[in-house]
A and B are shown apart, each in its own frame.
Chain A
């Protein structure tokens, strides 16, 4: 646990003031402005939860993809990965702690989005069901961290995967119901949506902001956690494979 917390604190220090973190701080309010403007123009105040939840999930995903995903590669390029391998602490625990810090920072984008909706459009959204909402934010951050553990070793095992890094954003936002409800997708595409934890998270977060009490909260939270757990297992297996491979090939310090 100490290694996890050390990684968490370390990443907060490193990320604080870094251009990547600042980018998220800027883009989340910008997306909120655009989505809220569309909702207001269409005279659809019921879409306000979309306008707030979508930038939050997009920020989390972007951070997972571009910061957490580059974590091991950055260590390798800066020459610290060898030293990290040579210490008694488990690298995987450290990596998870650091990725969790990244996703925690991503949660701040919700506060940004909420404030922009209130200050600019005078739509002060009440969180009508705070417990499901907070629980959903927490398990979403955990599932996001778990998913990020796949990206980090994947980009080392398959450098070509980095070339499609950018394409792993908007298609996923559409497929997972972050930008539009899954119900609006073609029928044959919906099963694929349900395999992405963001679809469960987005629905539950929006439902928690609405008046009717959200249904099947425990099951939906469990779905997010289960999909996160599967991602985590895949991520750890990939990480183990990467470390074995670079130790065998002698490419640990290659950039």
Chain B
């Protein structure tokens, strides 16, 4: 049995006064997440990541297809699915600002059937684990966005779920909190929980996920390990150098095996090469020109993302 099994899933939204215009948020999505796996779901805004999470968490109906969690259908057996999942929706909404952090968590723990001493223990443990114990008695509307996000995470964990759905969980977190989050996901994995994380932060996906699924315009593009996805971009190597003389730049451009020479916004020169022998020649030329600010890079997940999805900037959908 898989933790998550999605088959031919489609979801349309109606647009316009009568819902006469349709927009397809998910189109024939197939996805399998195994037990204990940490799966990243990456894609640009409007790709369908949140829609997928909402269907899995039973708060949205699919137009067609099926979504199962631990063998239970999210549409027809929603009550059982809800007992096994924890969900963290992105953004800083979704908490009761007039209540303090402890009261919020106690309320949500009760919604998962906890009560009495086990409830109090679970809440205190999570407040400690998420670094909120010192502010547990403070009203949530006085919290920073990052603290609210940590409280969201605690809420997602309060029911001790076997499957955790995290929709943009590090939005608003500072770098230290985001690093702590990554170690928290590692703990989730060690505890045998299945985690589905949606993100468009490639570094985050690369750091915490066993497998990454790229999704765009409601369709799954590919699923693989972060390092294997890095291989889907052309096997170019990259040399980045600062303060490169114009004469050297021209020489690099004319060099056989150099695929492209571009200037980065920082002013440094980025040279893409066809293979490592050309990279060696490029490095030698740069050193001979007296360039000391040098580095080489292999394609990473972010390169693959940009290669597959394109650099659409602020564009949605």
A-side residues, CB < 8 A to B, are 2-3, 6, 10, 13-14, 18, 78-80, 82-89, 94, 247-250, 252
A3 to B54, CA, bound (A): 24
Given contacts A6-B111, A87-B111, A87-B112, 12 further A-B contacts (CB under 8 A): A13-B103, A78-B93, A78-B97, A79-B89, A79-B93, A82-B54, A82-B94, A85-B58, A86-B85, A87-B159, A88-B83, A247-B59
Residues of A within 8 A of B54 (CB): 82, 250, 252
- Some 11 contacts from A to B, beta carbons below 8 A apart, are A3-B111, A78-B96, A80-B93, A82-B54, A83-B89, A83-B94, A86-B59, A88-B79, A88-B82, A250-B11, A252-B59
A83/B13 contact (C-beta < 8 A), A14-B99, A89-B111 known: no
- Count of CB-CB pairs between chains A and B under 8 Å: 78
A88/B113 contact (C-beta < 8 A), A10-B107, A83-B89 known: yes
Contact B103 A2, beta carbon cutoff 8 Å:
no
A78 to B11, CA, bound (A): 25
Contact B107 A6, beta carbon cutoff 8 Å:
yes
B-side residues, CB < 8 A to A, are 11, 13-14, 19, 51, 54, 57-61, 79, 82-83, 85, 87, 89, 91, 93-99, 103, 107-108, 110-113, 115, 155, 159
Contact B94 A14, beta carbon cutoff 8 Å:
no
Residues of A within 8 A of B11 (CB): 250
Contact B87 A83, beta carbon cutoff 8 Å:
yes
Residues of B within 8 A of A10 (CB): 107
Picked from A14, A82, A83, A248, the residue with its CB within 8 Å of the CB of B155 is A83
Instruction: Give, as a whole number of angstroms, the nearest-CB distance from A71 to chain B.
Output: 13
A237 to B115, CA, bound (A): 29
A86 to B59, CA, bound (A): 6
Picked from B19, B60, B96, B108, the residue with its CB within 8 Å of the CB of A87 is B108
Picked from A85, A89, A249, the residue with its CB within 8 Å of the CB of B110 is A89
A84 to B115, CA, bound (A): 17
Contact B112 A88, beta carbon cutoff 8 Å:
yes
Residues of B within 8 A of A2 (CB): 110, 113, 115
Nearest neighbor of B94 in chain A, beta-carbon distance: A79
Nearest neighbor of B99 in chain A, beta-carbon distance: A13
A14/B96 contact (C-beta < 8 A), A86-B82, A86-B87, A87-B112 known: yes
Max chain B C-beta neighbours (<10 A), residue from A3, A6, A94: A6
Contact B96 A82, beta carbon cutoff 8 Å:
no
Residues of A within 8 A of B61 (CB): 247-248
Picked from A6, A13, A250, the residue with its CB within 8 Å of the CB of B13 is A250
A86/B58 contact (C-beta < 8 A), A2-B110, A2-B115 known: yes
Instruction: Give, as a whole number of angstroms, the nearest-CB distance from B62 to chain A.
Output: 10
Instruction: Give, as a whole number of angstroms, the nearest-CB distance from B16 to chain A.
Output: 13
Instruction: Give, as a whole number of angstroms, the nearest-CB distance from A60 to chain B.
Output: 23
Nearest neighbor of A89 in chain B, beta-carbon distance: B111
Contact B115 A89, beta carbon cutoff 8 Å:
no
A3/B110 contact (C-beta < 8 A), A83-B155, A88-B79, A250-B13 known: yes
Contact A89 B113, beta carbon cutoff 8 Å:
yes
Contact B112 A85, beta carbon cutoff 8 Å:
no
A3 to B58, CA, bound (A): 20
A250/B82 contact (C-beta < 8 A), A79-B89, A79-B91 known: no
By Cβ-Cβ distance, the 4 closest A-B pairs, closest first, are: A79-B93, A87-B111, A6-B110, A79-B94
A96 to B58, CA, bound (A): 22
Picked from B14, B79, B94, B110, the residue with its CB within 8 Å of the CB of A80 is B94
Residues of A within 8 A of B58 (CB): 85-86
Contact B89 A82, beta carbon cutoff 8 Å:
yes
A14 to B95, CA, bound (A): 12
Residues of B within 8 A of A82 (CB): 54, 57, 59, 89, 94
Nearest neighbor of A81 in chain B, beta-carbon distance: B59
Nearest neighbor of A82 in chain B, beta-carbon distance: B59
Residues of A within 8 A of B85 (CB): 86
A132 to B199, CA, bound (A): 61
